[in-house]
Amino acid sequence: MPSHQARHARDGRRGPRRRELLVGLAAGLVSLLRPRGVRGQARAEVRTATPPPRYWIHVVMTGGLDAVWTTDPKTLADVKAGVDVPYRPDQILTAGDLRLGPLFEPLLPVANRLTIVNGVLVRTANHYTGIEQCARLRTMTTMRTPAAFDIIGAHRDSQALASVTLNASLRQAHTAGFFGTSAEGDFGGGASVLAEIDSLDAEARHELARVLGDRARALQRLGSPTPARAVAIDNMQQVAAFLARTAELPAFELTPWLEGPFKGQDDVGGFVSDLQRAVWLIEHDLAATLTVFAGNFFWDSHYRNSISQSAITPVFAAALERFFHALSSRSNRHGALDSQTGVILTTELGRMPYLNAFNGKDHFPQSPVIVAAPGLVAGRQFGGTGKEMEALPISTRTGRVVTSGERLVLDDLGHTVLRRAGIDPARYGFPGRELAFLAKDAL
Amino acid sequence: MSRWRVARGARAARAAIVAVLVLATGCGKSPAVTVAPAPASPALDRSKLDHTSLLLRGRLVDDAEWQRWTARPSPLEEIVDEILADPFLARDIAPALIFRNNLLRAARTLGMDGYQLVSSDIGGEPVFHLGQGCKSEDTAPIKPWWDPAHPVKACKQVVRETVWHVTLPGGTVQTCNVKLSTPKRLPETPCGCGPNLVRCLPPDYVPTLIAQAAEELRATTAYVASTDQPLARLFTMNETWRQRDMELFYLRELVNSQEIADPAPLFEAAMSWPADGKLAPRADAAPGQHAGILTAPQIMYHVFDLRQRMRIIYEAMWCSGESAPGARPEDILRLRTPTLSTLNEGWRELASRPICTTCHARLDYGMQFFGGYRAPEGIAYHYVPSATGERGPLYAADIDDPRGTAELTPRGFAEIATGQPEFARCMARDVAEYVFGARTSPATIERLARSEKPTELRLRALMRLAILEFLHCDDCRSPGGELAASSSTPSPAAAPRLTHLLGNHCTDCHNAEASIANFERPLDPTTRLRVMDQAVFGRMPPGEALPPAARQAFVADVLGAEPIGSVRQSPTTLILGYADPPAALPLMGVRQYLRGLASGHAGLNDLNTLEMALAGRDNVLTPNHIALTAVEASRSCQGVEPARRADCIQAALNGIWGSVEAIRRAP
Instruction: Give the pLDDT score at A441.
Output: 72
User: Which residues of chain A are within 8 Å of residue B636 when distances are taken between CB atoms?
Assistant: none
Residue B656 and residue B636 in contact, taking contact as beta carbons nearer than 8 Å: no
Instruction: Give the pLDDT score at B235.
Output: 98
Top residue of B311, B343, B482, B574 to mutate, by most chain A CBs within 10 Å, is: B574
At residue B371 the predicted structure's pLDDT band, cuts being 50, 70 and 90, is confident
| Pairwise CA distance, residues A395 & A99, whole Å | 20
Question: Which A residues, 314 through 343, put their C-beta within 8 Å of a C-beta on chain B?
Answer: none
B537 vs A230: CB contact, 8 Å cut-off?
no
A228 vs B323: CB contact, 8 Å cut-off?
no
Residue A270 CA, distance from chain mean position:
16
Instruction: Give the pLDDT score at A442.
Output: 55
Residue B357 CA, distance from chain mean position:
24
Is the CB of residue A168 less than 8 Å away from at least one CB of chain B?
A: yes
Of B490, B478, B470, B661, nearest in space to B9 by CA: B490
Phi and psi at B17, nearest 5°, equal -70, -45
User: Which residues of chain A are within 8 Å of residue B607 when distances are taken between CB atoms?
Assistant: 187-188, 190-191, 196
Over 80: is that where the pLDDT of B217 sits?
yes
> How long is chain B?
667
For residue B386, what is the DSSP state?
G
Of A176, A196, A117, A197, nearest in space to A370 by CA: A117
Instruction: Give the pLDDT score at B246.
Output: 97
Residue B125 and residue B153 in contact, taking contact as beta carbons nearer than 8 Å: yes
Is the sign of the CA dihedral A85, A86, A88, A89 positive or negative? Answer: negative
Residue B604 and residue B588 in contact, taking contact as beta carbons nearer than 8 Å: yes
End-to-end CA distance of chain B: 27
Query: A336 forms bridges with which residues in the sheet?
Result: A331
Angle separating helix axes B459-472 and B76-84, nearest 10 degrees: 140
pLDDT digits (tens, 9 = 90+) for B514-540: 889 999 999 999 999 999 999 999 999
Is the CB of residue A210 less than 8 Å away from at least one CB of chain B?
A: yes
B419 class by beta-carbon count within 10 Å (0-12 exposed, 13-18 middle, 19+ buried): middle
pLDDT digits (tens, 9 = 90+) for A23-36: 344 434 333 333 33
- Least confident range from A182-186, B398-402, B456-460, B566-570: namely A182-186
Question: Which A residues, 347 through 376, put their C-beta within 8 Å of a C-beta on chain B?
Answer: 352-358, 360-366
Instruction: Give the pLDDT score at B36.
Output: 38
Q: How many CA atoms lie within 13 A of B283 on its CB side?
A: 16
Instruction: Give the pLDDT score at B188.
Output: 85
User: Which residues of chain A are within 8 Å of residue B569 when distances are taken between CB atoms?
Assistant: 41
Residue B138 and residue B244 in contact, taking contact as beta carbons nearer than 8 Å: no
User: Which residues of chain A are within 8 Å of residue B611 when distances are taken between CB atoms?
Assistant: 174, 178, 187
Residue A205 CA, distance from chain mean position:
29
Give the type of residue at A215: R
Of B213, B97, B98, nearest in space to B588 by CA: B97
Mean pLDDT of the B166-193 span: 82
Percentage, residues of chain B above pLDDT 90: 64
Is the CB of residue A201 less than 8 Å away from at least one CB of chain B?
A: no
| Pairwise CA distance, residues A222 & B662, whole Å | 11
Mean pLDDT of the B309-336 span: 89
Over 90: is that where the pLDDT of B578 sits?
yes
At B571, which helix (H) or strand (E)? helix B571-579
Instruction: Give the pLDDT score at A190.
Output: 85
| Pairwise CA distance, residues B299 & B107, whole Å | 11
Is the sign of the CA dihedral B533, B536, B538, B544 positive or negative? Answer: positive
Query: What is the three-class DSSP state of A59?
Result: strand
| Pairwise CA distance, residues B522 & B517, whole Å | 11
Instruction: Give the pLDDT score at B388.
Output: 59
Radius of gyration in angstroms for the set of CA atoms belonging to chain B, rounded to a whole number = 29
| Pairwise CA distance, residues B283 & B302, whole Å | 21
Of A66, A161, A149, A75, nearest in space to A355 by CA: A66
For residue B455, what is the DSSP state?
G
Peptide bond into B563 cis (omega under 30): no
| Pairwise CA distance, residues B252 & B250, whole Å | 5
E runs forming strands in B221-277: 240-242
Question: Which A residues, 393 through 422, put their C-beta within 8 Å of a C-beta on chain B?
Answer: none
Of residues B177 and B25, which shows the higher confidence score? B177
Is the sign of the CA dihedral A94, A97, A99, A103 positive or negative? Answer: negative
Peptide bond into B541 cis (omega under 30): yes
Question: Which B residues, 47 through 106, put their C-beta within 8 Å of a C-beta on chain A?
Answer: 100-102, 105-106
Instruction: Give the pLDDT score at B23.
Output: 30
Residue A382 and residue A71 in contact, taking contact as beta carbons nearer than 8 Å: no
pLDDT digits (tens, 9 = 90+) for B444-479: 999 999 999 999 999 999 999 999 999 999 889 999
DSSP letters of B604-637? TTSB--GGGG--GGG-B--HHHHHHHHHHHHHHT
Largest CA distance in chain A: 68
Mean pLDDT of the A282-295 span: 98
| Pairwise CA distance, residues B234 & B90, whole Å | 13
User: Which residues of chain A are within 8 Å of residue B330 when distances are taken between CB atoms?
Assistant: 390
Over 50: is that where the pLDDT of A37 sits?
no
Phi and psi at A439, nearest 5°, equal -75, 135
Phi and psi at B392, nearest 5°, equal -150, 160
Is the CB of residue B605 less than 8 Å away from at least one CB of chain A?
A: yes
At residue B31 the predicted structure's pLDDT band, cuts being 50, 70 and 90, is very low
| Pairwise CA distance, residues B567 & B545, whole Å | 23
Of A157, A185, A305, A204, nearest in space to B342 by CA: A305
Instruction: Give the pLDDT score at A322.
Output: 97
Dihedral Cα A276, A280, A282, A283, nearest 10 deg: 130
B624 vs A211: CB contact, 8 Å cut-off?
no
Residue B457 and residue B451 in contact, taking contact as beta carbons nearer than 8 Å: yes
B529 vs A179: CB contact, 8 Å cut-off?
no
pLDDT mean across residues, chain B = 86
> Residues with Cβ < 8 Å from B192, sequence gap 6 or more?
B157, B158, B159, B160, B161, B163, B176, B199
Instruction: Give the pLDDT score at B4.
Output: 37
Of B518, B551, B514, B558, nearest in space to B535 by CA: B551
Is the CB of residue B621 less than 8 Å away from at least one CB of chain A?
A: yes
Over 50: is that where the pLDDT of B220 sits?
yes
- Least confident range from A74-83, A297-306, A334-343, B593-602: namely B593-602
Query: A137 forms bridges with which residues in the sheet?
Result: none
pLDDT digits (tens, 9 = 90+) for A143-178: 999 999 999 999 999 999 999 999 998 999 999 999
Nearest to B342 among A139, A235, A302 (CB): A302
A162 class by beta-carbon count within 10 Å (0-12 exposed, 13-18 middle, 19+ buried): buried
DSSP letters of A289-358? EEEEEESTTTT--SSSHHHHHHHHHHHHHHHHHHHHHHHHH-EETTEEGGGTEEEEEE-SSEE-SS--TT
pLDDT digits (tens, 9 = 90+) for B418-447: 999 999 999 999 999 999 998 899 999 999
Residue A384 and residue A400 in contact, taking contact as beta carbons nearer than 8 Å: yes
Q: How many CA atoms lie within 13 A of B43 on its CB side?
A: 12
Question: Which B residues, 568 through 587, put their C-beta within 8 Å of a C-beta on chain A?
Answer: 568-583
B582 vs A352: CB contact, 8 Å cut-off?
no
> How long is chain A?
443
A232 vs B660: CB contact, 8 Å cut-off?
no
Instruction: Give the pLDDT score at A46.
Output: 67
User: Which residues of chain B are within 8 Å of residue A362 when distances are taken between CB atoms?
Assistant: 338-342
Burial B571-594 (b: 16+ CB within 10 A, else e): bbbbbbbbbbbbbbbbbbbbbbbb
A235 vs B626: CB contact, 8 Å cut-off?
yes
pLDDT digits (tens, 9 = 90+) for A2-26: 333 333 333 333 333 344 344 344 4
Do the bridges between strand B118-122 and strand A335-336 make them parallel or antiparallel, or are there none, so unpaired? Answer: unpaired
| Pairwise CA distance, residues A416 & A432, whole Å | 8
A226 vs B327: CB contact, 8 Å cut-off?
no
ipTM metric = 0.90
For residue B317, what is the DSSP state?
H
pTM: 0.89
Mean pLDDT of the A46-50 span: 72
Give the type of residue at A183: A
Distance from CA of B148 to the nearest CA of A (A): 31
Over 90: is that where the pLDDT of B495 sits?
no
User: Which residues of chain A are within 8 Å of residue B338 when distances are taken between CB atoms?
Assistant: 82, 352, 354-357, 361-362
Instruction: Give the pLDDT score at A169.
Output: 87
B609 vs A362: CB contact, 8 Å cut-off?
no
Question: Which A residues, 125 through 144, put their C-beta within 8 Å of a C-beta on chain B?
Answer: 125-129, 132-133, 139-144
Among the residues of B289-441, which ranges form H helices? Answer: 297-300, 306-318, 329-333, 347-352, 357-367, 410-418, 421-436
Question: Which B residues, 368 through 397, put their C-beta within 8 Å of a C-beta on chain A?
Answer: none
Percentage, residues of chain A above pLDDT 90: 81
Do the bridges between strand B23-24 and strand A408-409 make them parallel or antiparallel, or are there none, so unpaired? Answer: unpaired
At residue B103 the predicted structure's pLDDT band, cuts being 50, 70 and 90, is confident
Instruction: Give the pLDDT score at B603.
Output: 67
Largest CA distance in chain B: 94
Nearest to B581 among A176, A196, A427 (CB): A176
Q: Which residue of A has its CA nearest to B660?
A: A215
Give the type of residue at B580: D
